[in-house]
Amino acid sequence: MKEKYKETIKYKETIKYEETIKDYQEWLNNSDLNKPSLHHADLSNTDLHHISLRHADLSYANLYYTDLSYANLRCTNLSYAILNNTNLHHTDLSCADLCGADLCGANLSNADLRHANLGDIKYNYLTIGIHPAPEGILTGWGKKNKRLVELLIPANAKRSCATTRKHRAEYAICTKIEGADKVTVENSHTKELTIYAIGKTVYCHKWDPDRWNECSGGIHFFLTRKEAIEWM
């Protein structure tokens, strides 16, 4: 009887918060309405993919196993939220407050975390898309002007990665170019040229220390040859 009672309570809470979500989306279109709160909401195991909850208060919310892929959570308060095993693939979390959130087992691949507050977050080896770039000497691969280039990333070179498998380095040594000795790449934004030549060190024009700016300044590379081949 206790289990049935718990299931009934959970069902009623789910219905209540589904109605609150609908009210919130109405508020997004009409700010004259009172802003609904999802503070402490239990939305676990809920399908919310593609939803827009930007600027919402989801602090301390239970989002365990919730599908929030492709959702718009820009500037959302997710502080101390339970995001265990939550699907945040391609979710816009830019400027969101994730302070103290539990992201153990969450999938953050391709999520936008630019300017997000990640202070005191919890994550583990199962969390996807949050771990920093590996330290030490690395071998990387990149596709430069349709040529596959092997790169050695020295231990002292600054490096970063955002929420995908693509990495950036401050500088790298070109060790191999398949089918050529030299290749020149033009930056599509600045039109600056970068020359990769076997045995030479190549420097980026301007290093960007913000790891979440994935396509910003740096020598771009992958950790495997296969990923570089499949890129673009």
CATH number at 115 reads 2.160.20.80
- Concatenating the DSSP letter of every residue in 164-181 gives SS-EEESEEEEEEETT-S
pLDDT at 94 over 80: yes
**Digit-coded pLDDT (tens) for 129-151:** 999 999 999 999 999 988 999 99
Question: Rounded mean pLDDT of 208-231?
Answer: 94
Q: Could you list the residue range(s) of the whole structural domain that residue 64 is in?
A: 1-130
Give which of 59, 162, 45 is closest to 115, Cα–Cα.
162
Looking at the structure of the chain, the number of domains it has is 2
Residues facing residue 177 across a β-bridge: 149
Q: Given pLDDT bands bounded at 50, 70 and 90, which one contains residue 25?
A: confident
Confidence at residue 7, expressed as pLDDT on a 0 to 100 scale: 47
pLDDT at 5 over 80: no
Tell how far CA 98 is from the center of its chain: 13
Residues 77 and 107 placed together within one structural domain of the fold: yes
Last residue of a domain, one of 102, 130, 158: 130
Confidence at residue 33, expressed as pLDDT on a 0 to 100 scale: 63
